[in-house]
Amino acid sequence: MKIDIITAFPKMFVGSFTESIIGRAIKNKIININFINIRSFSNDKHKKIDDRPFGGGCGMVIKIEPVYYAIKSTGVKKKNKKYKNFYTKPLVIYMTPQGKILKHKLILDFSKYKHLVIVCGHYEGIDERIKNYVDEEISIGNYVLTGGEIPAMVLIDSITRILPGVIKSDSIKNDSFFNGLCDYPSYTRPVVFKNHKVPDILLSGNHKNINDWRIKKSYNKTIKHKIDSK
C-alpha cells in the first residue's frame, strides 16, 4: 500500500513511523509512506500557506491552492466515484473534526486500497473548498487537536496493523471490534499480584470453558461500555 501524507509539518511523523509495527511494515515494504509538504506548492516567496479568514474571526486558514496542487501531485486526477473501480483509484482522506468518526468498518474499507492520500489540516483548518477534492472526511473523535497530523498517525496505525503480513492473523481476529465486540480480559504471570488473582478458569486447562468465558466477558464488556463499532 502506498500512503501519501499531505502536511505542513512532516517532521511530526518521524518517531511514529520508525518504531515498532509500522517501522517493520515500512522496512518489509508492505507500506510505502511518502510525505508531501504543502509549503512546496505555495506561490508565496516566503512559502506562506495560510491567510486571514473572509468575514473576520480568529486564527488563520490554510489556502486552497497549495493543498489542491499537493493532492494533484499524487496522481489523483479527479474525485473518485464510489463503487466504480472502488479500490483501484487513490482514495483522498481529509482529517477534520467535522468528519465521520473513525470506526473499525471504515478501517477495513480503507485497508483494501492500494493508494491512500491523507490530507492534514492545521490552524483553523483548510479553506472549505477542499471538500470538492477529497473522497472522505474523517475524525478520530468529537474534540479538536492542533492539527490533522496526530489523527493521520492514528488512521495509518489502525490500517497498517491489519494488512496481510504485518502481524499474525490470529491476533487480528482477537482484536476488539473485529467481530463487533470488545476484546476479552487478558492476564499473564504472576498468578497473584497484591492479592489480585488470575481467574481460576484461565488456569483450569479446559479450553472449551475458557472460550465460553471469554465470549461471555466480551459481550459483558461491550454492553457495559455501550460500544458501537458499526
Question: Which residues carry out catalysis?
Answer: 97, 124, 161, 175
Residues 6+ apart with CB under 8 A from 36: 4, 5, 6, 7, 70, 73, 74
Average pLDDT, the chain: 90
| pLDDT tens by residue, 9-25 | 999 998 889 888 999 99
CATH superfamily of 176-224: tRNA(m1g37)methyltransferase, domain 2 (1.10.1270.20)
Number of CB atoms found within 10 A of residue 91's CB: 21
162 and 21 Cβ atoms separated by less than 8 Å: no
For the chain, the farthest-separated pair of C-alpha atoms sits apart, in whole angstroms, at 71
Tell whether the model's pLDDT for residue 165 goes beyond 90: yes
| Cα–Cα dist 137/84, whole Å | 19
Question: Whose grid coordinates read 496522481?
Answer: 75
Tell me the pTM.
0.85
Domain extents in the chain: 2-169, 176-224
Mean pLDDT, range 189-212, rounded to an integer: 97
- Residue 175's pLDDT band (boundaries 50, 70, 90)? low
Tell whether the model's pLDDT for residue 174 goes beyond 80: no
105 and 230 Cβ atoms separated by less than 8 Å: yes
| pLDDT tens by residue, 58-116 | 899 999 999 999 999 999 876 666 545 567 789 999 999 999 999 999 999 999 999 99
What CATH topology corresponds to 2-169? Answer: Alpha/beta knot (3.40.1280)
Nearest Cα to 149, choosing from 36, 57, 43?
36
| Cα–Cα dist 228/226, whole Å | 7
Residue 77's pLDDT is: 74
Tell whether the model's pLDDT for residue 124 goes beyond 90: no
Residue 215's pLDDT is: 92
Tell whether the model's pLDDT for residue 229 goes beyond 90: no
Query: How many whole angstroms from its chain centre is CA 94?
Result: 11
Nearest Cα to 121, choosing from 134, 112, 107?
134
Q: Which three cell numbers stand for residue 56?
A: 473576520
DSSP letter at 53? P
Residue 40's pLDDT is: 97
Tell whether the model's pLDDT for residue 45 goes beyond 60: yes
What does DSSP say about strands 192-193 and 50-51: parallel, antiparallel, or unpaired? unpaired
Residue 148's pLDDT is: 96
| Cα–Cα dist 141/104, whole Å | 13
